[in-house]
Amino acid sequence: MVKSISGMSTLAIYNKLFDGFYLSWHKISLLSHLYFVLGACFSGITGYFIILRLLLGIPCLLVLVIYKWSRRHLSMDDKIEEFLQSHNLTPIRYSFKEVKKMSKNFKDKLGEGGYGSVFKGKLRSGHHVAIKLLCTSKGKGQDFINEVASIGRIHHANVTKLIGFCVEGSKQALVYDFMSNGSLDKIIFSEENRNTLGWKKLFDIVIGVARGIDYLHQGCDMQILHFDIKPHNILLGANFNPRISDFGLAKLYAIDESIVSLTAARGTIGYIVPELVYKNLGGISYKADVYSFGMLVLEMVGRRKNLNPFANHTSQIYFPSWIYDRLDQGEDMELGDISDDEKVMIRKMIITAFWCIQLLPSDRPSMNKVLKMLESNVELLKMPPKPFHQLPLETSTEVHSCENSNDEESVLLHNQF
């Protein structure tokens, strides 16, 4: 009998196995057998119990998740319905079936943004529309309320027209007037399309956008702050008439509120007002839209993004800084072959834009004064200080208000209008 195979060669082990071997075991007492059976039974009961818990628990968990999800959407729907009932809105309320029909089941996609996709559609009258299908998981209904509340009761030639809307459970859609020439960014930032618009047409677009913002700030019964003025949100009609669109970040305030409260920064990098980041610069006001407008105008003049790390020369990486130095020193702005009248328009746009992007809100004009600057004699415009200095993290002077003094216009212009 071999008790251990340690030290044996493989051949020796093979020979022993070839000779055969005996198996033996100890007899188990009745008591030990009983323990074994009881242990197996207990183990089986525990297993069955675990399986039973899983079978009952998983459906219960699914029911709980569905309940929570439905409650969240119900509360969101209730919030929207309450809003719709409390406002006397001009736009038509469509069913989702009607929206699908007018868009031919969302066949022709025009674009996509942070809050949903936009599709082309047609009303029964034959009128073309743009249908924004909102992504409810992102805005949780608030973007729908923002858009309808801000433009649902107003009409202006330079503000996008809301024709109708749809709310059916989690399905939310907004129906706008269709703008055949798309968004401004697709023209000024595209190598193929950048020369589509002449300087006179660009100047007209600047004037139109300024009028639209001025109307939002002063022409309604409520002050509407857009907070996302940029080329992507400027839509162009058949004659390149501009309209301000995408009010998903807009906020409504009383006309007499000079400083407004925000729970979080909003907007797009490159157009966000400095005081949203550096609180010591001053409170948030309508001057936030003025700043974004200034950055928009400079991009229109340069027909490029203000920040371009791939520029031919390092000095041109940040276009506003480069063009300011050129204009201030009387150098050629390198904007191609332009007439004297076009030079006047360009100079007005640039100087006005630099007033709009001044660091302190109190140094920026209102949109009403921006319009006066753009429509004035260029010789009356004064070059503002260069706004590109290091932003202060701390300041010894406390800024209490963004309201400008009565003689602000004399700072912007050599003479009063």
Q: Which one, of 159, 150, 166, lies nearest residue 106 by Cα?
A: 166
Alpha helices in 10-29 (DSSP H): 10-19
Contacts of 355 (CB under 8 A, 6+ apart): 294, 363, 364, 365, 370, 373, 384, 412
The letter for the amino acid at 404 is N
The angle formed by the CA atoms of residues 297, 132 and 249, to the nearest 5 degrees, is: 50
Tokens of 327: 């204009």
- Establish how many alpha carbons lie within 13 A of residue 325's alpha carbon, considering only the half-sphere containing its beta carbon: 7
DSSP 218-259: IISSSEEE-S--SGGGEEE-TT--EEE---TT-EEE-TT-SS
Radius of gyration of the chain from its Cα atoms, rounded to whole angstroms = 34
Q: Is 3 annotated as a binding residue?
A: no
Catalytic residues: 228
Contacts 24+ apart (CB under 8 A), 403-409: 403/258, 403/362, 404/362, 404/365, 404/366, 408/365, 408/369, 409/365, 409/369, 409/372
Rounded distance between C-alpha atoms, residue 102 and residue 280, angstroms: 50
Which residues are annotated binding-site positions?
132
| Residues making up the binding site for ATP | 132
